[in-house]
Amino acid sequence: MKLFTTIMISFVLGAGLSCTDGSVDNVEETTCLRAKFIANYCPSGKALHLIQFLEPTELATAIKSQTSDTIRYYAAVLDLPESVRKPDTEFYLRFHYDQAEESKYRPEICQQVFTDVKLIVCDGATKDSCQTLTEAR
């Protein structure tokens, strides 16, 4: 009974933290980084949201500030859960790059407040920590 309860709790927790479609591909290649929600991104075949990573990553588009040495790292995310889609919300994002997905959903049209950024796929997002995401797996 105790074992069953533990399994059930783990299952529920995992479902709550997973991304919208629940499917997790290439889990071996996932990365987890701290990020900040910016806004919904350009129209595409699937909802895309612009996030800014709060630490460097090659999987994001690096944009150097014109007025300082700051470099910001942006990415458009597929399957980002609604729980973190609020302006300036900081969270931990587990994600992976998927060339097929990028090719499929790269926006063809866009508001000119954005620029082209790399497209990634969300594997999980939480406000707690990357460890939480790992445990949830």
Partner 1 sequence: MKQNLFFLLFTLLIQFGTSAQSTYYWSIDKRVTVDLNYQIVSVPYEGTSELRSVTSKLGLRSTDVNEVIWVHNKINRIDFASSVSPASFSEEARKQIIPSMSIGKQPEPIFLTGEITIQPNERTQIDYIAKKYNLTLIKKLDYGPYLLKVSEPSQTLSVANKIHENEDVDWSSPDLYTKTIALNDPIYNEQYYLRNTGQLGGTAGVDIKAEDAWAITKGCYIRVAILDDGIDAHDEWSNGRLLGGHTAGTLNTGGSPAVTDDSHGVACAGIIGATHDNNLGIKGIAPNAYLIPVNILRNPITGFGFTGVEIASAINWAVASNGGNADILSNSWGYPTQGYSDGNIQVAYNNARTGGRAGKGSVLVFASGNQHVAWSGVTFPANMTDNITVGAITNQGNIWYYSSRGPQMDLVAPTGDINLSGDVRSTDRMNANGWETGNYTNRFGGTSAASPQVAGVAALMLSVNPALTETQVRTKLQQTAVDMGSGGFDNTFGYGRLDAYAAVMSAKPHLYISGPEQICPSGTFVVENVPSGATINWSSSNTSILTINSSTGIATRVGDGNATITATVSYFTGCTAFSMTKTVKVGKPDISFTVNGQPYQIQNGPVCFGEMQYINVVGHGPLNSYTWTLQNGSGNLGSSGPNGSFVNYYIECSDISVVASNSCGTVNTGLTICTRNCFMTKFNVYPNPAKDFINITFEDTKALSTLPDRILLYNEKSTTPVTTVRIKDIYDQGSFKNGNTIELQVNNLPRGTYYLHILPPPGSDQKTDKIRIILE
* 44 binding partner 1? (CB under 8 A): yes
| The only residue of 19, 85, 124, 125 in contact with partner 1, by rule CB under 8 A | 85
Distance from C-alpha of 121 to C-alpha of 12, rounded to nearest angstrom = 22
Least gap, CB of 101 to partner 1 (angstroms): 15
Q: How far is CA 41 from the centre of its chain?
A: 13
* Residue 115 CB coordination number (10 Å): 11
* 20 binding partner 1? (CB under 8 A): no
Residue the block writes with tokens 């990365």:
31
Least gap, CB of 91 to partner 1 (angstroms): 16
Which residue stretch of 5-13, 20-28, 60-68, 92-100 sits at the interface with partner 1 (rule: CB under 8 A)?
60-68
Residues in the interface with partner 1 (CB under 8 A) total 31
* 69 binding partner 1? (CB under 8 A): no
- Shorter beta-carbon distance to partner 1: residue 78 or 133: 78
* 89 binding partner 1? (CB under 8 A): no
Query: Which residues on adjacent β-strands are paired with residue 62?
Result: 73
What is the maximum alpha-carbon separation in the chain? 61
Distance from C-alpha of 134 to C-alpha of 98, rounded to nearest angstrom = 20
Run of H or E residues at 103: helix 99-105
User: Which parts of this chain interact with partner 1 (CB under 8 A)?
Assistant: 38-40, 42-47, 50, 52, 63-67, 72, 74, 85, 87, 107-117
